[in-house]
Amino acid sequence: MLIDNKSIAIVGGGPGGLTLARLLQLKGANVKVYERDLDKNARVQGSPLDLHDNSGLAAIRKADLLEEFKQNYLPGADKKMIMNENAEIFFSDHETKSEDHFGYEYFRPEIDRGTLRKILLESLQPETIVWNSHFISMEKENDGWLLHFKNRASVYADIIIASDGANSKIRPYITDNKAFYSGITMFEGNIQKAKENAPSVNDLLKGGKIMAFGNRKNLLMGQKGNGDIGFYASFPAEENWATSNRLDYSDKNQVINWFKTTYPEWNIIWLELFENAETPFIPRPIYCIPLDQNWEAHSNITMIGDAAHVMPPFAGEGANMAMLDALELSECLTSNQYKTLQEAISVYETNMRKRASIAAKESLENGELMHSENSLQEMLSFFNGH
C-alpha cells in the first residue's frame, strides 16, 4: 500500500476529516487529526444535515457505521414546508411524503451535525484527535512536512490532508485559485429548548424544515434532535457586509432592530426567532470555488471538503461532498493500482474537481432562484417538479 509506514496528518475535524480518518484507519493507516476546537464540546453544531445515498451515506456504509447512523438519525426531519413572508403555507409534504427507507436512491435522512460528529469520533482509535491544535503554517522537511501550531509543539507528517474548511490555511500551499463571493450572506442563529422559548415557530416547524421566501430574502430553519432550532436569514449583500454593518452580534436588541429594518414586510411571528436566539449571532458570507479551477497534483499534500471546493449551501451538498471526497481519497491512497502517491492524488483530485464544479454550479443557480424577485414561485415549481 502506498501509505504503508507513512504518517498522515488531517488538519480539521469536520465530517470530511473524521470520515477520512475512519476509512484510513480501517485500512491500517497511521492517522492523526489536528482540530483547533478545545474539545468535542467546544461549540454549538449547526442545523441538521441530510445525507445522500451516493455520497454521504455511501461513505457511512464504507466506514461500517450505517447501523449507528440508523439508530441516531431523525425520522421525519426531512419533511419541509415552503412559506411566504406572512408564514402562509404554499407547499408541505408532511402529510404526503412517504416513509422512505435506507437503500432508496432518493432517501435523504437527516441527522444532527453534533450527533454525526459523535458517531465518527467514537469510531476512531484512542488519541486520534489532537484537540486544541490551531494550525498556523508548515514547511517542507525531508520528504514530508513540519506543521506549526499556535499553541502546541510542531509535528512532522509524511502526508498532509487539508480538511480545514472554507478559510483553509493549507489550500495556498496547493493552489493560488481563490473562491469568489456569491453575493449572498447568511445570518445564523440558534434557539435552545424551542418548545418553551419559541413556541409559535416550533409549532410551525412540526419537527421538520421551513423555507420562507419574500422580497429577495429568505428565512431557513430546521428542528434539531435535542429540541433546538437552527435558523438562517439569507439575503443579498455587499461582500464586506459582515464587518461594515456596525452590528454587535452579541447585542440581541441591535440584531432585532436590524431584522425589523431589513425584513420590514415579514410577519411578526418571525421575530420570535431573533428574540429568543442565543448570542452571538454569526454572519456567514457565502463563497464559491471557480467552476474551472485546476492545479498540478502534489506527491504528499491534498485537500477535501470546503478547503477544496467551498460552495453555497443551496443544494445541500457541502457535507455530502466532503464525505464523498473522504471516501474517494481513501480508496485512491490505499489502492494498489497506482505506482506513486502523486498519481493516486492526481486521480482523486481530477474526479473531485469535476463533480465539485457540477455541484457548485447547481448551488449557485439555486441561490439565484432563492433570492430572485419571484423566489416563492420558482421554489414552488422546483419542489412540485420533484
Q: Are residues 199 and 230 in the same domain?
A: yes
Q: Are residues 148 and 280 in the same domain?
A: no
Asked whether residue 308 is domain-assigned, the answer is yes
Q: Are residues 275 and 295 in the same domain?
A: no
Binding-site members are 43, 50, 113, 306
Report which secondary-structure segment, H or E, holds 159: strand 159-162
**Residue closest to 19 by CA, chosen among 171, 161, 143:** 161
Q: Are residues 199 and 169 in the same domain?
A: no
User: Is 261 exposed, middle or buried (CB count within 10 Å of its CB: 0-12, 13-18, 19+)?
Assistant: exposed
Asked whether residue 72 is domain-assigned, the answer is no
Confirm if 157 and 144 have CB atoms less than 8 A apart: yes
Binding-site members for FAD are 50, 113, 306
- State the alpha helices, DSSP H only, in 229-340: 241-244, 252-262, 271-276, 306-309, 318-333
Asked whether residue 344 is domain-assigned, the answer is yes
Per-residue pLDDT, 360: 95
Q: Are residues 134 and 32 in the same domain?
A: yes
**Residue closest to 306 by CA, chosen among 271, 343, 356:** 356
Distance CA 325, CA 17 (A): 9
Distance CA 287, CA 178 (A): 10
Number of compact structural domains in the chain? 2
Q: Are residues 346 and 235 in the same domain?
A: no
Radius of gyration of the chain (CA): 21
Per-residue pLDDT, 40: 84
Q: Are residues 300 and 270 in the same domain?
A: no
Give me the residues of the chain with pLDDT under 70, please.
Answer: 43-47, 97-100, 385-386
Q: Are residues 133 and 250 in the same domain?
A: no
Which residues constitute the domain of residue 354? 7-52+124-178+290-367
Can you give the CATH number for the domain in which 312 is found? Answer: 3.50.50.60
Distance CA 199, CA 76 (A): 19
Binding-site members for NADPH are 43
Q: Which residue carries 445564523 as its cell? A: 188
What value, to the nearest 5°, has the Cα angle with vertex 158 and ends 153 and 163?
Answer: 75
Can you give the CATH number for the domain in which 237 is found? Answer: 3.30.9.30
